[in-house]
A = this chain, B = another copy of it.
């Protein structure tokens, strides 16, 4: 496989974009990424999206997006892996460019959730879980995560307040991200007083919905080695699945697919957790941030909250996470999230993250989680 580089990035703000349609959001991000890459076209378009069939009565987003941005007759498909749909698009695009099947590709994640009533979105989100054995029993997606968090608190002896640093860090960092949904810092007291959604998950443990799109342009690294400064490559890329339903897992408190995909990505990039300068993880719920840190080797099993409390996750800590707000405060437009993570890592590696800049960032990692840990995609980006 050829080494693949990120040549351009683009994103929309995350918001309730009543004035923009699904195609307009995707188009805005794709065209921005092409402009950033100084390219007029690409050979392929890979669209990550989870729920446009339900939320927008529109599927076939490969053709929709290619058509809308004027890339007539290119190859284009949609990838879907629930909440990991965005990074699944990136990985498919990377493999296509690495294989030689294409000389360039754009991967875009897009989701437009505001158009649908809340109950329909709750129903659409539940399609990420097991329809027959979880959703049909009345479990919403937040309820699944609440079960995991409650069990984690019971097993490892954590209190709800111990998870506060995840949300405080995310909101503090989002203040410096102009594309983020929220720009207000929160306090430990505010965290504790937030409305309960599904015990023990309260409003400050849960990421917000939103509409948005983020895109990157990929090319073979060899074609831009002497022009891109810095050259940013996809040094590691891997995906792994686990059981769809939580009850089938040997240990519901261990993200086996996260561990598997991270270890494959580490091996491909020739690095370990100690080499990662920042980690854009999937903090859809604060419990998922803890579990992801543990599965990827940044904290001992059951000790994610301790790492957070000791400040290890802050911008100046050992492993900064959610450096531009994360899912919690940047926002979580489901199928777009994986691409926002990548775009933000590129901003960090380019030194373009403004007040959110992580000093000396050279290696960044993303992890995008589909379902309750059922499909997990990890990428490692390196600047040289």
| With contact pairs A51-B53, A72-B241 given, residues A375 and B135 touching in the complex (Cβ less than 8 Å) | no
| With contact pairs A60-B375, A127-B60 given, residues A79 and B77 touching in the complex (Cβ less than 8 Å) | yes
Contact of A59 among B77, B95, B128 (CB under 8 A): B128
Q: How far is the CB of A61 from chain B (nearest CB, A)?
A: 8
Contacts of A95 in B (CB 8 A): 95-96, 99, 101
**Cα of A342 to Cα of B131 in the assembled complex, Å:** 29
One digit per residue, 1 when the CB lies within 8 angstroms of any chain B CB and 0 when it does not, for chain A 34-61 equals 0000000000010000111110111111
| B1 A101 Cβ-Cβ under 8 A | yes
Contacts of A92 in B (CB 8 A): 77, 92
| B60 A374 Cβ-Cβ under 8 A | yes
**Cα of A71 to Cα of B54 in the assembled complex, Å:** 29
**Cα of A270 to Cα of B375 in the assembled complex, Å:** 38
Contacts of A244 in B (CB 8 A): 60, 63-64, 67
Copies in the complex: 2
Most B CB contacts (10 A, CB to CB) among A60, A62, A124 go to A60
**Cα of A23 to Cα of B243 in the assembled complex, Å:** 13
Across the interface, name the chain B residue whose C-beta is closest to A81. Answer: B77
Contacts of A1 in B (CB 8 A): 99-101
| B64 A130 Cβ-Cβ under 8 A | yes
One digit per residue, 1 when the CB lies within 8 angstroms of any chain B CB and 0 when it does not, for chain A 132-157 equals 10010000000000000000000000
13 more A-B contacts (CB under 8 A) besides A53-B53, A57-B135, A66-B241? A51-B59, A54-B54, A60-B82, A60-B370, A60-B371, A62-B81, A63-B374, A63-B375, A64-B130, A67-B248, A77-B92, A92-B92, A99-B99
Q: Using a CB–CB distance below 8 Å, which chain A residues touch chain B?
A: 1, 21, 23, 45, 50-54, 56-64, 66-67, 71-82, 88, 91-92, 95-96, 98-101, 123-124, 126-132, 135, 238-245, 248, 256-257, 260, 370-371, 374-375
20 contacts between A and B (CB under 8 A): A51-B53, A51-B59, A57-B135, A58-B127, A58-B131, A58-B132, A60-B129, A63-B241, A63-B370, A67-B248, A71-B241, A72-B243, A73-B240, A73-B257, A75-B238, A78-B81, A79-B80, A92-B92, A95-B96, A98-B101
